[in-house]
Homo-oligomer: A and B are copies of this chain.
Amino acid sequence: MARTQGSHSDITGPRVREAALALFARHGFAAVSMRQIASAVGVQAGALYNYTPDKQTLLYDLMRTHMEDLLAAWDSQTPTGGALGALETFTRFHIRFNTRRADAVFVSYMELRNLSPENFEVIEGLRRDYETRLETILRQGAREGVFAVSEPRIASMAVIAMLTGVNTWFREQGRLSLAEVEAIYWEMVRKSVAA
Contact = CB atoms under 8 A, between A and B. Distances in A.
Copies in the complex: 2
A164 B194 CA distance: 22
Interface residues of A, number: 36
Contacts of A31: 28, 30-31
A30 B31 CA distance: 6
A55 to B, nearest CB: 12
Contact of A154 (B25, B29, B181, B191): B181
Contact of A157 (B30, B159, B165): B165
A26 B113 contact: yes
Contact of A28 (B29, B159, B187): B29
Interface in A136-185: 149-151, 154-155, 157-162, 164-165, 168-169, 176, 181, 184-185
A13 B59 CA distance: 35
Interface of A: 25-31, 109-110, 113, 149-151, 154-155, 157-162, 164-165, 168-169, 176, 181, 184-185, 187-189, 191-194
Given A157-B168, A161-B165, 11 more contacts: A25-B113, A30-B30, A149-B188, A150-B184, A151-B184, A154-B169, A155-B188, A161-B168, A191-B191, A191-B193, A191-B194
